[in-house]
Structure 1
Amino acid sequence: MRRIRPPRFRDRWYDVTDFGAVGDDATDCTAAIRTAIETCHRHGGGHVVVPAGNFRTGAIHLLSRVDLHLAAGSRLAFSQDPAAYLPVVATRYEGTECYNYSPFVYAYGQRDIAVTGGGVLDGRADDTHWWDWTGGPPPNESPDKTLLIQMAADGVPVKERVFGAGHYLRPNLLQFNRCTNVLLDGITVKDSPMWNIHPVLCRNVTIRDVVVDSPNGPNNDGIDPESCTDVLIERCTISTGDDCIAFKSGKDADGRRVNVPTRYAVVRDCEMADGNGGVTAGSETSGGIMDIFVRDCTMSSPRLERAIRIKSNPDRGGTIANIDVRRVTVGQAADSVIEIVLNYANVTTGAYPPDVHGISISQLTAAAAPRALNLLGLPDDPLRDIRLYDCRFDAMSEENVIQDVEGLRLDQVWINGTRADN
């Protein structure tokens, strides 16, 4: 925590309406916002202000020393036209590097950047824009995903993995790539094409008082730090169509090529509702995920499948270790309260078995769920050193599933009123 400090900005303010932006929910403000950011950056930095109103825009690229400040009552309404996110930029798609449509708010290699204020970033994705790329007849992302994974496996240089126009890999709503000193504060994000907030290979990231309201879309993870160091996520409220917070570190061959873990992260005082997992590690674990601390969070929804989830498989590999969870209150979950599995996507054999050990969960309470624990290692790759202390699980309707686990310790753990210590 001593290392994590949000950036500071000069007391200079640049209103986008002074550069031609109009908040009438009709005018394309892309050029005006871009000019405001470039002017602020050129003059030494400060705050680019989006005032109250509805501002239509395409891709926004942040530059060093610039805070994009969304005033209360403001809304950035992002274009539903994929052409608004060209030319392609360097990005990661589900843990694999490539060139693709620009994330809606994007920065690459910048320092001291922020998106702050009480406004809304509305991705405007729906069943006929972006989300329809996930299945069924063309447009369909599946062939492009297969091609990208094969390119990575074959060692095709990243600069040759070019997608974008004519392809169907969905962009993130916010992605900061290889940036230092990043702040997201107070904003609301909603309806992203896929992952909402995605810091990649960043250092010193603060995400606080953010609302993620994106419960209906596919792969709509809330906050996904990937291959990042020194991350604080606090006082956020998250409801998504996938994992609420998911720590990641690259996928398969490409994750091993880059080989940068996510390490030293704190999640505290957050509230999770809908989602496949409340706080998750994986499934993109190839670079490793270590030293993650979760404190004082609440999680509950009929559509929250799991509270704490770790997922990988022998194709992904990586070390997942030193995960420490304390004082989590779970109201309702739709599947297992705690799930740690090494057979993600039904893959049980491969050359890169993950190393999962050192998982500690204490003072967790759950009011209702099908089961408390789903712990699945593999015969040749067991889960190791998992400890639950002072936890209570009530109204569990099914038995725990525990296979191929070494060093499981249950200490003062109660399930349906019965002490389950070993």
Structure 2
Amino acid sequence: MKILSLLFCCTLFYCCHSDVQKKPTPLKNSIEEIVKQIGNPHLSTTFINLTDYGAVGDSLIDNKPAFDKAMQACQEKGGGRIIVPAGVYLINGPIHMVDNSCIDLQKGAKLVFGTHAEDYLPVVPTSWEGTLLYNYSPLIYAYKVKNVAIIGEGTIDGNGKDGFSQWYDKQKPAQRKTREMNHQDTPVEERIFGSGYFLRPQLIQFYQCQNILVEGVTIANSPFWCVHFLKSENIIARKVKFNAFNKNNDGFDPEYSKNILIEDIDFNNADDNVAIKAGRDHEGRKIGISSANIVIRNCRFKGLHGVAIGSEMSAGVENVYVENCAASGYCKRGIYLKSNPDRGGFIRNIHIDNVRFGEVEDALFITSYYHGEGKGYATDIHNIFVSNFYCKRASNAGLAIQGFPTKKVRDIHFSNTKIDSCKTAISLSHTENIVFNDVIIGEEIKVPSAVK
């Protein structure tokens, strides 16, 4: 194991049982308080069979009209659970959910979305990489609704590989334009994208929604982010399985959202498993709605990064609890907190407990200088608590923390942390009050050898 020398611009404490640097104890009831506040979803007891509205699961007939009629029936009845029997249902266009609606995918049911971009017009209010705008409709879209659910043992296939994902190499001009509009404070109603701009839509988006449940389903082949919770609250995601390998196929992206429980998930994503966000740059700071009170527990990570915070997090992220999770396959990075000096905002009160990884590139990485760019708005990163953390091997860094010269990353507490092997054990720059309590990186040193 090679250990690089610590950079001089940090203050480091190694502690075993120090009263002075003792790790603060988080509130014992914090997780259960969040879960209690979310409550249990209330699913409609009015059952609506999709086939009664003309749906045919033969993979050929367009079932968009059937879904539209079923959603209209939900609205007229004050709510409904749309039962989708076994079969393969082609859908040429988006599903727009309404208040008190539930899509219940029975075992063997599969929704496959069409690949013609014009079917996802007209544009709708949404966001793209942290900037609010109008774009193609997400494939399943819930806007300003309450009590919505997607449940069952079936599969949602975004058909991204043969459709929108092919736009990845064409998106740069529109991507730059979204960021310019953000920095220039262009009114949102003037940020019209859609046709000709090549910004891929999310597979599932809940925007300004309350009381959300996503449970049991398999999510695959997304055109962009898989499940985006935007300005929403009281959310449960449970027992979901991901098989999403296209560009930017994050699993769950909570943004400007709070009171969220993500549990018992089988991730298998080409990007972040969970990516917690809170808006980009000027707009994020202006909106000022932090993402908060998020519990991630009993999950199996596999993909790019297990849990990421950022990089779009300008309104701040706080009160995040990750517990009892483990990697079920390769992850590039285990825990990744990332921001840069364009963002501002804060990342604070993050608790990582009983989390295990196998082989990674970096076990835990915190950076205030993501991509080495940005100026003027350094992020305040502090109060990060890591306990009972294990990694078998990190090909690059065990623990890497990079602050910013004018705003150090501070008050980071490690306890009962073990990394069996890595290239660089610890790399700290522009940090302050980094506390180690029972930390072993490399082979544990036990009884000293006797004098010969």
For Structure 1 versus Structure 2, the TM-score category normalised by the shorter chain is over 0.9
* SS state at 1:292 partner: strand
* SS state at 1:166 partner: coil
Q: Is the 8 A contact 1:280 1:310 kept in 2?
A: yes
What residue is the counterpart of 2:59 in the other structure?
25
| Aligned residue runs from structure 1 range 271-282, under 5 A | 271-275=300-304, 277-282=305-310
What residue is the counterpart of 2:325 in the other structure?
297
Match of residue 107, structure 2, among 72, 83, 96: 72
Q: Is the 8 A contact 1:315 1:352 kept in 2?
A: yes
What residue is the counterpart of 1:105 in the other structure?
140
CA separation in 1, counterparts of 2:225 and 2:48?
29
What residue is the counterpart of 1:412 in the other structure?
438
What residue is the counterpart of 2:119 in the other structure?
84
Confirm whether residue 13 of structure 1 aligns to residue 47 of structure 2: yes
1:149-170 per-residue CA deviation (whole Å, 9 max, x = no partner) reads 1112111110110011121101
Match of residue 364, structure 1, among 389, 413, 417: 389
Confirm whether residue 323 of structure 1 aligns to residue 350 of structure 2: yes
CA separation in 2, counterparts of 1:358 and 1:90?
35
Q: Is the 8 A contact 1:6 1:204 kept in 2?
A: no
Which runs of no fewer than 5 residues in structure 2 stay unpaired?
1-34, 446-452
Match of residue 152, structure 2, among 117, 135, 144: 117
Match of residue 353, structure 1, among 378, 383, 401: 378
Deviation at 1:54, TM superposition (A): 0.4
Match of residue 343, structure 1, among 364, 369, 378: 369
- Structure number with bigger Rg: 2
Q: Is the 8 A contact 1:317 1:355 kept in 2?
A: yes
The alignment yields a C-alpha RMSD, in angstroms, of: 1.3
CA separation in 2, counterparts of 1:241 and 1:253?
29
Confirm whether residue 207 of structure 1 aligns to residue 237 of structure 2: yes
CA separation in 2, counterparts of 1:336 and 1:410?
18
Confirm whether residue 237 of structure 1 aligns to residue 305 of structure 2: no
CA shift in 2, pair 1:6/1:62, >3 Å:
farther
What residue is the counterpart of 1:307 in the other structure?
334
Deviation at 1:402, TM superposition (A): 1.2
CA separation in 2, counterparts of 1:7 and 1:35?
24
Q: Is the 8 A contact 1:339 1:373 kept in 2?
A: yes
CA separation in 1, counterparts of 2:430 and 2:272?
25
CA separation in 2, counterparts of 1:133 and 1:322?
38
1:42-76 per-residue CA deviation (whole Å, 9 max, x = no partner) reads 10212011110000112001001011111110000
Confirm whether residue 166 of structure 1 aligns to residue 201 of structure 2: no
Confirm whether residue 225 of structure 1 aligns to residue 259 of structure 2: no
Match of residue 53, structure 1, among 84, 87, 104: 87
**Which is worse superposed, 304-313 or 368-377?**
368-377
Which runs of no fewer than 5 residues in structure 1 stay unpaired?
none
Q: Is the 8 A contact 1:5 1:206 kept in 2?
A: no
One-letter code aligned to 1:24: D
Q: Is the 8 A contact 1:300 1:332 kept in 2?
A: no
Q: Is the 8 A contact 1:249 1:284 kept in 2?
A: yes
* SS state at 1:165 partner: coil
CA separation in 1, counterparts of 2:382 and 2:208?
28
CA separation in 2, counterparts of 1:212 and 1:178?
24
Identity score, percent? 34
| Aligned residue runs from structure 1 range 114-193, under 5 A | 114-126=149-161, 128-135=162-169, 140-193=170-223
* SS state at 1:364 partner: strand
How many residue pairs get aligned? The number is: 410
What residue is the counterpart of 1:393 in the other structure?
419
Q: Is the 8 A contact 1:6 1:182 kept in 2?
A: no
* SS state at 1:33 partner: helix
Q: Is the 8 A contact 1:274 1:300 kept in 2?
A: no
1:146-198 per-residue CA deviation (whole Å, 9 max, x = no partner) reads 11111121111101100111211010000000000000010110111111000
Confirm whether residue 37 of structure 1 aligns to residue 71 of structure 2: yes
What residue is the counterpart of 2:38 in the other structure?
4
Greater relative contact order, per chain length (Cα 8 Å cut-off, separation 6+): 2
* SS state at 1:149 partner: helix
Q: Is the 8 A contact 2:261 2:294 kept in 1?
A: yes
Match of residue 93, structure 1, among 125, 128, 134: 128
1:95-144 per-residue CA deviation (whole Å, 9 max, x = no partner) reads 10000000000011100000000010001111x52222122xxxx00000
Confirm whether residue 374 of structure 1 aligns to residue 400 of structure 2: yes
One-letter code aligned to 1:295: E
CA separation in 2, counterparts of 1:354 and 1:300?
32
Q: Is the 8 A contact 1:14 1:48 kept in 2?
A: yes
